Amino acid sequence: MQTSTAHSHAHAHGADAHAHHDEGGFLRKYVFSSDHKVIGIQYGITALFFLFFGFCLVMTMRWQIAYPGRPVPIVGPLLNAAFGASGGVLSPDLYNMFGAMHGTIMVFLAIVPLAFGAFGNLVVPLQIGAPDMAFPRVNMVSYQAFAAGGIVMMVSFFIPGGAAQAGWTSYSPLATSVPTLGQTFWLVGMVLLITSSLLGAVNFIATIIQLRAPGMTWMRLPFFVWAQFVTGFLLLLAFPPLEAAGVMQLADNVLGTSFFLPTGLAIGGKLANISGGGSPLLWQHLFWFLGHPEVYVLILPAMGIVSEVIANNTRKPLWGYKSLVYSVLSIGFISFIVWAHHMYLTGMGTKISTFFQTTTMIISIPSVIILTCLFISLWGGSIRFNTPMLFALAFLPMFGIGGLTGLPLGFNYSDIHLHDTYYVIAHFHYVVAPGTIFGLFAGIYFWYPKITGRFMNETLGKTHFWLSLICMNLVFQPMFLQGMAGMLRRMSDGGAMYSTAKAAPGSIGGLSDWILGLNENISHAAWFLAVAQLPFIFNFFWSISYGKKVSSDNPWDATTLDWQTPTPPPHGNFLETPQVVRGPYDYSLPGASKDFVPQNQNA
Amino acid sequence: MDIPYTVQPRRDTGLYNAKLGIWLFLASEVMLFGALFSSYILLRVGADPGEWPQRLLNVPIGTVNTLVLITSSVTVVLGWAALKQKNFAKYRKLQTITVLCALTFVGIKSYEYADKFKHYQVITKDGKVYDGHLVKQDNEVVVLEGGLIDASKGKAHGVMVAQREAELHGGHHPEVEIKRSEIQKIGNYGPGHNTYMSIYFTLTGLHALHVIGGALVIAYILWPGAGMYKTDPERYINRVEVSGLFWHFVDLVWIFLFPVLYLL
């Protein structure tokens, strides 16, 4: 621990140093730890579990879409036992429940905790040269609130009537009309998750502002830190309105208020016993006021990871660092004034639609700038095609497809046709699945050696990458066609009842057999995508003990401070306070002895 | 390495960590209450003409509560200033007043809440509307201290306000007895009464939770946590400052709540 170079001592003493500072038993060290790295790993493991669980939900749904009314193989008996399904069939009610929880789990329990909670916690303090987060105990509470929220969500599956069924957007009055307790659990879970995010956001912003190492000026921050900084502000300011909305919907469900329930609401053919006078539109406004910035919460950390991986593996500085920073800041601001583009079809008025359509087009500009900067960064680089880099490279076109197909949804006239169809599903899954999740995979393969001291296996990694890339496209590409053909989302039979409509003479609309037939292809691809994750899962655990050992603390020859620590970083991270003397991406500096110059070293 | 700037401010930001933290937290609180105030506006604008109750609440009581909170804001800042001047005894005296103010506020608020829960509206099967405080109810009859109000649209709430004013000036109402068999709908002025009561209870309830939370923190720092003043005085003063910032925010929210809910 007393050595002055970050190198030599690390392997021998990293673990000792940790034990030395963090005395106490297993619980104190791994469960109730306030060390940012342990919390980051807790977030990561929990989020990966939820990612897999959310995927399982949708795999079951894909069976029902492809083969409506047929018993689900493998998990059918489980459905019977746990949810009272009959004959192993996923009933429409269960389909709604799985759909609502798939969205909720993927967004709030998988991607956000992985992108923000796990990578943010692990990497941000290291990259800015800080010993820990600004408020370590708040950080611990933040994870515990997240875990509690996750438990409430999971428990809700097993209460009578099951989990929430009103979609991840929980539109009122539907959310209040479903006569089960699922929605109440959902709201309680959400309040916990929001609390967790708020605490995390305060902590991240304070850490980045206050704990930057000497010399780490704003324009020397790695782009990943900028991305997390803006993400922090989005969470801080966009989540409270949903918390307010959640409290109000909870009151609607439990106290009999009518915040979101209109006068004269009839449920099941009977006039509801409520005072009325509420506004269903109000819920949508409050929900999407969070919901849209949330989209950027999902994508910005992934962009940050991809930037780090690309700079490292092209051995070049990022092209247009300042443009990247200003773009990400612009995205942060503009993302607060685009929310109602989710609501063109609510009848809120054409003038308002025009406003939101304009802001929506404006926000695509900084996104395109970021993507362009990353593409140009590849130019003339001597690219190392390792697994993290493959994922990062695939992120660029995949996110590009996701982003560009969003434009027709942002125009209110073309949205009239595409709204609520599979086109929407395809669009945002391209952004989040082969976009964000690929970015996160890149991050996992990239920072794994820093945390464990071993590389993940490259062959398995590349198998994982190529199979995932192919399957992701086979899953989501056909959905664009289905959506454009008019196939609506949220239908438990995958549009089968539409096919009867086309049989009527002279009828227009209806779905052709070819469009319906795609359902089967998509489902097969989705299940094969699950198979493609097996190499990753195996690799993830196997490499902890058997992966190739790193030969130095900086195995990727990276410039940022996270690689200038012992491996794994001890409690307190750095052996001495780093003095930052240069920008974050001094690769291939002319005249330097190596092709990289770390931020805290002179050339 | 220890975490820097836990007590001393960082030179380029001029803040210690907790002070920045509480400002960020308050920013999120602004968004939380901002969303609720926006909801208030949207619900009020969307209400049918004449349906939105005005001056349903007791203004003098609300005014007293406003003064109580403003007093606590003054004592909180004077207490912190006294501590800065190393006058711990004065600080303790002033902060005790703060905590007492918080308790008074919550007490008065509970009285107001209880009053609303005892206040009933009964609609009979022949369309009459009775309004008043519940005296007793059993399986046979409901007895209200109040009377018949003209329920035709637009007039209802004017009559109610008149009744309210009469009540405030000491007027007593006769008791009316209504048979259970004649009642079509009965309910108190709880959150489910109408959207005004819903947003009233949500806003003031959330605010009251903030008052209670803030008072607990101030009281903790004041009594069980006071040992830190001897061991780490600077950090202790910072704690007082941070809790004071939160307290000012809680007061400020009420300064908006009072006119919006009581006067407008």
Place of tokens 């401010």: B9
Domain housing A220: 31-259+275-563
Does residue A579 sit at the B interface (CB-CB below 8 Å)?
no
What CATH number has the domain bearing residue A187? Answer: 1.20.210.10
CB contact under 8 A, B202 and A573: no
Compute the nearest-CA separation of B31 from chain A (Å): 6
Compute the nearest-CA separation of A248 from chain B (Å): 7
Percent of chain A at pLDDT exceeding 70? 94
Q: Which residues of A touch B198 (CB under 8 A)?
A: 248, 251, 255, 257-259, 278
CB contact under 8 A, A238 and B46: no
As a whole number of angstroms, the distance between CA B244 and CA B26 comes to 12
Compute the nearest-CA separation of A415 from chain B (Å): 26
pLDDT in tens, A315-340: 999 999 999 999 999 999 999 999 99
Name which of B5, B25, B191 is nearest A257 (Cβ-Cβ): B191
Lowest mean pLDDT among A446-455, A560-569, B130-139: B130-139
Q: Region A524-546: what's the mean pLDDT?
A: 97
Is the pLDDT confidence value at B136 over 90?
no
pLDDT in tens, B61-79: 999 999 999 999 999 999 9
Q: What is the separation of C-alpha B168 from the centre of its chain, rounded to a whole number of angstroms? A: 21
- E strand or H helix that includes residue B119: strand B119-124
CB contact under 8 A, A255 and B191: yes
The angle that helices B17-46 and B233-258 make with each other, rounded to 10 degrees, is: 10
Query: Quick one: closest CA in A to B41, which residue?
Result: A282
Q: Under DSSP, is residue B123 helix (H, G, I), strand (E, B) or coil?
A: strand
Q: Region A557-565: what's the mean pLDDT?
A: 96
Q: Region A211-236: what's the mean pLDDT?
A: 97
Lowest mean pLDDT among A5-14, B222-231, B242-251: A5-14
- pLDDT confidence of A55, banded at 50, 70, 90? very high
**Greater confidence, B161 or A476?**
A476
**Residue A393 belongs to a domain:** yes
pLDDT in tens, A125-144: 999 999 999 999 999 999 99
- E strand or H helix that includes residue A480: helix A458-484
Is the pLDDT confidence value at A7 over 80?
no
Is the pLDDT confidence value at A19 over 50?
no
pLDDT at residue number A505: 65
Is the pLDDT confidence value at A375 over 60?
yes
**Residue A217 belongs to a domain:** yes
ipTM over 0.90: yes
The total of structural domains in chain A comes to: 1
Q: Return phi, psi of residue A160, to 5°.
A: -60, 130
Is the pLDDT confidence value at A18 over 70?
no
Scanning A257-296 for CB atoms below 8 A from B yields 257-259, 263, 274-275, 277-279, 282, 285-286, 289
Q: Which residues of A touch B31 (CB under 8 A)?
A: 236-241
Q: Return phi, psi of residue A16, to 5°.
A: -60, -45
Quick one: A408 exposed, middle or buried, by C-beta within 10 A (0-12, 13-18, 19+)? middle
pLDDT in tens, B78-94: 999 999 999 999 999 99
pLDDT in tens, A576-585: 999 999 999 9
Is the pLDDT confidence value at B126 over 50?
yes
Choose among A279, A255, A345, A541: nearest CA to B193.
A255
Choose among B97, B102, B67, B112: nearest CA to B250.
B102
Is the pLDDT confidence value at A522 over 80?
yes
As a whole number of angstroms, the distance between CA A91 and CA A68 comes to 9
CB pairs under 8 A between A and B: 139
**Residue A587 belongs to a domain:** no
Q: Which residues of B touch A138 (CB under 8 A)?
A: 21
pLDDT at residue number A8: 42
Does residue A215 sit at the B interface (CB-CB below 8 Å)?
no
CATH 3.40.190.10 fits B22-116+194-263, yes or no: no
Percent of chain A at pLDDT exceeding 90? 84
Does residue A132 sit at the B interface (CB-CB below 8 Å)?
yes
As a whole number of angstroms, the distance between CA B247 and CA B217 comes to 10
Residues near B159 by Cβ (< 8 Å), separated by ≥ 6? Answer: B149, B150
**Residue A444 belongs to a domain:** yes
**CATH topology agreement for domains B22-116+194-263 and B119-188:** no
Structure tokens of A593?
A: 């002895």
**Which fold is adopted by the domain B119-188?**
SH3 type barrels. (2.30.30)
Q: Which residues of B touch A240 (CB under 8 A)?
A: 28-29, 31-32, 34-35
- E strand or H helix that includes residue A45: helix A36-66
Amino acid at A240: P
Q: Which residues of A touch B199 (CB under 8 A)?
A: 259
| Buried/exposed A105-115: b ≥16 CB within 10 Å, e otherwise | bbbbbbbbbbb
Percent of chain B at pLDDT exceeding 70? 91
pLDDT in tens, A331-365: 999 999 999 999 999 988 899 999 999 999 999 99
* Domain residue ranges in chain B: 22-116+194-263, 119-188
CB contact under 8 A, B46 and A576: no
CB contact under 8 A, A203 and B21: yes
Is the pLDDT confidence value at B159 over 60?
no
